[in-house]
Structure 1
Amino acid sequence: MTEPRTHARAHARARDRIRAAFAEAGVTGWLHAVDIDSGAQVDAGADHTVVTASVHKVCVLVALHQQAEKGRLELTEQAECPPDGRTPGPTGLSAMLDPARVSLRDAAYLMMAVSDNTAADLLLRRVGLEAVNATTRRLGLTRTHAVQTFGEFVATLKEDTGHAGPQALADPRVLARLRALDPASTNRSTPRDMTRLLAAVWRDEACAPQHSAAIRRLLSLQVWPHRLASGFPFDDVHVAGKTGSAPTLRNEVGVVEYPDRGRYAVAVFTRAASPAAILPAADAVIGTAAHLAVDALRS
């Protein structure tokens, strides 16, 4: 019994250090990390219901590949994307001005690599919200549910901030009424559900092996290094993940792979007191917390 007790103490110490790191960074945070092969885990609020924001694009991606596996669509299928009606966003098709034509698999790349909202909604129109929810139910993610497109998510932010726009976020009363920050009103999950989804992808359980490999490839192409990946600045450690953001919210889920074949699914969701768009400490603590959790799992 000595070894399990030693691991339990190490994980408890890691949980305390993770909570201290969140507090020092000025955020409230929730984390789950799991060794994909052994099942050992670190839990720091793993079952807290959270707003997923763009993290839910992972669910869309898995649903897309499940539909392709069943022959309901072709990933090479082309979709037209006119300038009018695009979902607002700072990247990808959302920021482009001219008509575009893109395959479903290339739209998936834009959705994952640069969190392109227009590409995500293009895929949702083809796949459907119900298919996304059927996918998460099938994988046993009982606390994960999609209720709106990414365009609808952005629209609620605009409606709830009113004519003052982003400046209104300085008012605590405005923050308190944002539906985008209420898990009951928007797309939601838990840290534990998200690590379960990632583990299923890495074990080839979410889809056939070729589709799981394609999902892993896209997750590895995300361009943002300032959250989860910042905790693993090593040339021989590979991080694949997906961020999610909203006013006061900074999230990321991903898988960390070591050269000794150790692989760890991690989900970190945070909420800051400040609505400021630039909070380096709040971004960095996602990597710090993930590193503390993975170190405990490797101890």
Structure 2
Amino acid sequence: MPTLNDQYEVSIIMPVYNTGKVMLKTVESIEQQISYKNHPVPSFEVILIDDGSDDVETLDILKSVRNKLNFKVVRNTSYKGASGARNFGISLAQSEWIVFLDSDDLLMPTALACSYKYICEDKGISWLASAINIFEDGKSIIPRPLKDSSPVLYKLIGKYFDCGKRAVLVNPTIELLETCFVSTLNVWIRRSLLKGLNTFDRRLRRAEDYKLWLELSLTTDLHFIPHYLGAYRQRSNSLTSGQQPMFSCEDIMLVQLLQDKKFKIYRSAILKRLMFVLVDQCYFYRKYGAYRQAVLASSRLIRKFPCQLVGWKMLFMSAIGK
């Protein structure tokens, strides 16, 4: 990793691939950051990793962004995909703190100043997260209470969140295995934490970020602050819009954890999560009439949990097309 640069306090890493004009709103959300409670916006660099875009609109926007003072556009010529792009961005980052932002998502106006305020007030923080909102492409951001958007997380930190207080989750591996309440949009990571880690696993098509959070949780406390500081754009062509199971490929990641000695003491929780994910995949394919895929998903469930009735039931229902 390069030497830290005192010029910047945070590095924002943004993978880009044929995002088109929506990226303009993302860039604007960075440029329009304002102070929070008299705490100024920290100095930042934005590293845009072009993952091989060939869309004219995207290329034109990247060309215009390249001229901005603290924006850097770099072409990714090695490992493709979001994981490879983020890892490349991390290797180029020159500040102590790493923030991720996809090229179609948004930062709320006080996102940087608010997060950095907490970091300055407690030098012991190395991993910070906040709440986010989800909005549909072309529509306004409509805030959802945390207790509705993430009931498991609310059960853990609701009493702090509702009072406007920061919550500290001590090595939250078990909590994260119940549900993933951290995303690339809402997280700040001290750069030194990433040394020695595999960062974003390029072998995974999805859930590579989830795996990194679980790796971090083994040794690091998560500080969750009571603010909505990001907005996730749910696009009609996104993976979360119904084309694939919500937990697609997560089973592959969980099997990797089962083979990792560091996670040995969490085997029971991993297996519980794995069963949940495989059952969800079976239901998804049956719901959309993809019975061949439902049979395959049921077979994976049976191979992992041969003594559990649910797998055999799923296989039977999938085979008869119900």
Both proteins in one fold, TM over 0.5? no
**Who wins on radius of gyration, i.e. which is larger?**
2
Q: Which has the higher contact order (CA 8 A, sep 6+)?
A: 1
Structure ranking higher in helix proportion: 1
